[in-house]
Structure 1
Amino acid sequence: MDQRVSSLAPPTIYVVDDDDGVRRALAFALDLDGFEVETFESGEALLLRDGLDAAGCLVLDERLPGISGLDTLRQLRARQVALPAIFVTSHPKPLMRDAAARAGAPIVEKPLEAETLIAAIHDLLRGPTR
């Protein structure tokens, strides 16, 4: 076994969703897949977090109380946080699809299936194919 691979810390997935049940279910599924997971109930709570792990990924519910997932991502980008992001939402409107595409963030539609989200996270963490 390659010791370099086994000694690397797993990426941290930052899950932002106002539904506690969704946060817990996603944290459980992501943890089982080997990720470190931090959960937040709002965009504002995530924005208070210092030192987001550059090897991680954001999973942002678009429809949040307070600032939206998209506005949360915009504020992080303004702070030079370049973590890849995925939006989760139900029935995204064309404006949301366009904004997500401009942000380089795929959308995974609700109702969520953990396997679909995990596959999207793995694709995002691998980066663009050449």
Structure 2
Amino acid sequence: MSNAAGSGGRSGLTLRKVKDVATVFVDRLADRSPFCRVAATGARPMTAKKTLVLVVDDDEAVRESLKFSLELEGLGVGLCKTGEELVEHPQLASAECLVLDFKMPEMDGIAVIKTVRALGFATPAIVITGHATAVLRQLAADVGAHAVLQKPLDGSVLLDCIREAIGLP
């Protein structure tokens, strides 16, 4: 029997001991952050509820990129192409954060936030745009948006903003 199979050999290290050490390490990571268990094992604890973020952008590449990066962090992500699609989304009521492009056909991000508010939802909203001006920032603040972020998004800025908006560490 080889060392990998569990005989131990000279070092006394067995496959079982390696698994035990890995389990302790993952458990310690999970104690520090709700997102660490996902990153370390790919599985969430049975009792954990995924935070749902709904992303609205008319650019498919942007939607898919945001979905990929947010899911890597353990968030649940729903995608919408338009503001109208968001308003009719079956999970709008359970979303914990909205990420909206400002410039979209038919209904821009500010109009979408106004519509969501008129429906009675106070869900935190983050506006993303290629041109963050002082006027846009003021419009966003006036409708209760949590933040306006400039595209392309830099590193973990969006994730940090989402965490802040919904009160996660």
Q: Extract unaligned runs of 5+ from structure 1.
A: none
Residue aligned with 1:18, SS: coil
Matched, 1:30 2:70: yes
Matched, 1:98 2:138: yes
CA RMSD of aligned residues (A): 1.9
- Amino acid of the structure 2 residue aligned with 1:50: P
Structure number with higher relative contact order (C-alpha < 8 Å, ≥ 6 residues apart): 1
Output the TM-score relative to the length of structure 2: 0.68
Q: Extract unaligned runs of 5+ from structure 2.
A: 1-26, 35-44
Q: Select between 9-18 and 85-94 the one with higher mean Cα deviation.
A: 85-94
- Among candidates 131, 137, 150, match of residue 109 of structure 1: 150
- Among candidates 98, 103, 118, match of residue 58 of structure 1: 98
Residue aligned with 1:34, SS: coil
Q: Select between 83-92 and 5-14 the one with higher mean Cα deviation.
A: 5-14
Q: CA offset at residue 104 of structure 1?
A: 3.7
Residue aligned with 2:92, SS: coil
Give the length in aligned residue pairs.
125
Distance of aligned partners of 1:91 and 1:66 in 2 relative to their CA distance in 1, 3 Å threshold: same
Distance 1:11 1:125 in 2: 9
- Whether the aligned pair in 2 keeps the contact of 1:54 and 1:83 (CA below 8 Å) is no
Name segments (4+ residues, structure 1) moved above 4 Å.
none
Output the TM-score relative to the length of structure 1: 0.87
- Amino acid of the structure 2 residue aligned with 1:119: D
User: In percent, how many aligned pairs have the same letter?
Assistant: 34
